[in-house]
Structure 1
Amino acid sequence: MSCWRGGEETRILVAPDSGAIPNSVGRLLSLRHPKSASTTCYLLNDGLLRELHWFKQPYSSWFLGDYVCEDGRLYTATPVDPVFVLLPIFEEARMKKGNDPGKFRQLDEILFVNGHPEYCHLISIAENCMQLVCDTKEIGSSKFFRLDDSKVLAWLHCKEKGKSESKTKNTGKQQAKKNKVETESRNIKEMFSRVTRSKRN
């Protein structure tokens, strides 16, 4: 948990401590939410992107040493796959019309988003992760990207499959636990039955 004091405001943020890794600097970014397109705050830290959420109970505050923070909100940083955040940007950038797959463009062009200049901080992340869902071309030292529908669908399928497998594993564990409880319950009942029969005899 970190405390940030800036000017007159203090905030409590639950996130990995960037101070634990040398030369690591966290950066707050205002980006478009992939679903609503509304401006949302993200934390970029150690090459990982996290979405910020906040929670506040009425009449809450924080005690920080000998200081009282009146704003009792708790901010959390939740990991998010940057592909989800970047998909709408890459979709717009290819300027697809009808059956035309659209244009190849360089990352600095794609991530130049009016009103959201902080997308430029995602260039290194985008270069690594967006190759999963894009066709790429290299001309000299320049690399060009274009979103590919079939790759996006394959990526989404893998994501959904991963969730399904995770759910199946959890369901399997729950079923095993339930079976164990039922077995133990039967064993206890049988034990009491034997004790009761032996007392009668």
Structure 2
Amino acid sequence: MHYHHGLLQVTPELVWGLHGHFLVMVARRRLSDGERWRIIGMIESGMSRKAVARTFGYHHSVITRLVQKHQETDAVKDRPRSGRPRVTTVRQDRALLRLVRRYPFASSHFLKDNWLPNRRLCHRTVRNRLKSAGLRMNDEKEVNRANRRHWVIIAPASVVEEESETLSDPYFVKLKHPGTGKGAVFLFGQNGRRIFEVKSFSEKCHSWFIGDRVQEDGHLLYATPIDPLFLCLPYLLQEERKDRFEPLQQLLTDEDFPSCSNIIRCLNLQGQLRHISEIRASSDEKEFFCYSEENTLKWLQTKVERLVNAIRDAGVSVGGAVTSAMFVRSGQDEAVSHDEYRRYAHGLVSEYLPLALRLRLQMHLGIPEIKDEEEEGPPIKRRKMSSESPECATASSRNKTKSLIKAPKQNAAQRALAKVDRTGMKTLSCYFGKRA
């Protein structure tokens, strides 16, 4: 005997008590998508709804509702439920995260009182918002550990500009560096539409004061914008993808760096890809891309020429007359040729290019290679001949060396100790010698 109630099923094995039988409501699992389609197939094959309900162990009203849903929506999945409405907006949630960064050691009750003081909220709401933001916390100690590490970064103001309530916070990702092929840190800002390269500057014995705490990590990070096409070049230059047209979503896939798919969100990336690739469109207006060396070299040449003009306008000294790493020109007033500026600009652009493409760009620009000065070698000095024998010369050089070495200065205590009569005294090392 079976008892049915909607989606619930109770068997006699579950209905038993000390003083007789009584009805117990036991939750029944939901129908899977496969079972629902089987039910629809049985109904369409001619079986009655009650027969199908007995086969699956459900009440016939469950089968009736499923058939009605299939007739109305041509689907068997559950309709979306509204659920409980959120009591805070996305912008208010970001304000909570900023408050946590400001007071990393605060409790959930303190955050609740200072987050939205004019709203009646539960401290559990604060904990749920922090958990949804990636701070999996059991208590306030988890918040402390998650916010204990900070970084000091110099970045353009456009990284954190809030243009709308749906704007996401800047985030760091690890992507393949186009020049080295290794992992490097990049920053996505402006709702993921701009990419910034993150570099680090560090000094010994350096730390930061953040609020009322001392941050041991004294690194200074600075973010500079980078053209996303440089990040796309390593994937277009892969051997297995040459001479093959692929869509952008398939092109930017990497198991080692899964975050590379975020590059697609950059502003007008598909329109910019024409500078380094050939584009073909299918009948359904889908675009496919393939690497083009001719377009890439023209695009890189334009980059180099723009960089040359920027270097000249900034007054940066380049060429052989530069005598230090601070780009200070020596006293010789030599006119710097255009080739020297191009060579310097080519070196800056080449930091973001693979080695093979770097050499092809150098040949395309017609920049000659610099000969190594060490190959020519310094002029050979003539050895000074002397009539003295080698032994005499060695002895005289030793005497000269001894005369050049000055004795260290002694303080008053050392001078007084030197005047003490040491006759009959033993050295300290004699007490630690081997016994006979």
Q: Same fold (TM over 0.5)?
A: yes
Q: TM-score range by the shorter chain?
A: 0.7 to 0.9
Partner in structure 2 of residue 13 of structure 1:
153
Partner in structure 2 of residue 162 of structure 1:
306
How far apart are the structure 1 equivalents of 2:236 and 2:198? Answer: 23
Match of 1:136 among 268, 279, 283: 279
Contact 1:51 1:79 in 2 (8 A): yes
Deviation at 1:93, TM superposition (A): 7.1
Match of 2:260 among 91, 116, 119: 119
Report the 3-state secondary structure (helix = DSSP H, G, I; strand = E; otherwise coil) of the residue aligned with 1:36.
Answer: coil
Partner in structure 2 of residue 152 of structure 1:
296
Contact 1:94 1:105 in 2 (8 A): no
Deviation at 1:124, TM superposition (A): 2.8
Partner in structure 1 of residue 87 of structure 2:
none
Task: Tell me how large the CA RMSD over aligned residues is.
Answer: 2.5
How far apart are the structure 2 equivalents of 1:117 and 1:93? Answer: 20
Partner in structure 2 of residue 188 of structure 1:
none
Q: Considering only CA atoms, is the larger Rg found in Structure 1 or Structure 2? A: 2
Structure-2-length-normalised TM-score: 0.35
Structure-1-length-normalised TM-score: 0.73
Contact 1:93 1:105 in 2 (8 A): no
Partner in structure 1 of residue 207 of structure 2:
61
Alpha-carbon distance change, 168 to 114 in structure 1, aligned in 2, over 3 angstroms: same
Q: How many residues matched?
A: 166
Report the 3-state secondary structure (helix = DSSP H, G, I; strand = E; otherwise coil) of the residue aligned with 2:287.
Answer: strand
Give yes or no for the alignment of 1:31 onto 2:175: yes
Deviation at 1:92, TM superposition (A): 1.4
Deviation at 1:162, TM superposition (A): 1.0
Alpha-carbon distance change, 9 to 169 in structure 1, aligned in 2, over 3 angstroms: closer
Segment of structure 1 superposing worse, 10-19 or 110-119: 10-19
Partner deviation per Cα, 1:75-108 (whole Å, 9 max, x = no partner): 1112212212211111117622xxxxx0110111
Quick check: which one's strand share is greater?
Answer: 1
Report the 3-state secondary structure (helix = DSSP H, G, I; strand = E; otherwise coil) of the residue aligned with 1:20.
Answer: coil
Report the 3-state secondary structure (helix = DSSP H, G, I; strand = E; otherwise coil) of the residue aligned with 2:150.
Answer: strand
How far apart are the structure 1 equivalents of 2:185 and 2:251? Answer: 20
Aligned pairs for 1:17-96 within 5 A: 17=157, 18-22=159-163, 23-46=167-190, 47-92=193-238, 95-96=241-242
Contact 1:82 1:129 in 2 (8 A): no
Q: Which runs of 4+ in 1 moved over 6 A?
A: 2-5
Structure scoring higher RCO (CA < 8 A, sep ≥ 6) equals 1
Q: Point out where structure 2 has 5 or more consecutive residues left out of the alignment.
A: 1-97, 105-145, 317-436
Report the 3-state secondary structure (helix = DSSP H, G, I; strand = E; otherwise coil) of the residue aligned with 2:241.
Answer: coil
Report the 3-state secondary structure (helix = DSSP H, G, I; strand = E; otherwise coil) of the residue aligned with 2:255.
Answer: coil
Contact 1:94 1:147 in 2 (8 A): no
Partner deviation per Cα, 1:88-137 (whole Å, 9 max, x = no partner): 111117622xxxxx011011111111211001101133424322211112
Name the % identity.
Answer: 23
Paired AA for residue 250 in structure 2 = E
